[in-house]
Amino acid sequence: MSRHELKSEVTGSIWKIETTSGQKLDKEHTVMIIESMKMEIPLVAEEGGTLVEICVNEGDAVNEGQVLAIIER
């Protein structure tokens, strides 16, 4: 199995986490929503797999490039 890190594309905060660890994800499944400059930006799984770790909590500040979740395929 391979691991894929989902990284933030922007600086902002975690507005809402839409998934839980252990959940099976389809391609383009929304994992969480980042709020940046009053915009809601979905973080989606690029490919299907199992969400093995969520690295942040709702309300956390995040930086561009920060690992937010890990998916195993």
Mean pLDDT, the chain, rounded, equals 96
In 3D, which of 24, 31, 51, 72 has the Cα closest to residue 9? 31
Residue carrying the six token digits 């809402």? 16
Give the pLDDT score at 4.
Answer: 95
In 3D, which of 22, 21, 14 has the Cα closest to residue 57? 14
Q: How do residues 27-44 score in pLDDT, each as one tens digit?
A: 999 999 999 999 999 999
pTM of the model: 0.92
Give the pLDDT score at 14.
Answer: 98
Looking at CATH, the fold of the domain delimited by 3-72 is given as: OB fold (Dihydrolipoamide Acetyltransferase, E2P) (2.40.50)
Cα–Cα dist 62/54, whole Å: 13
Percentage of the chain exceeding pLDDT 90: 97
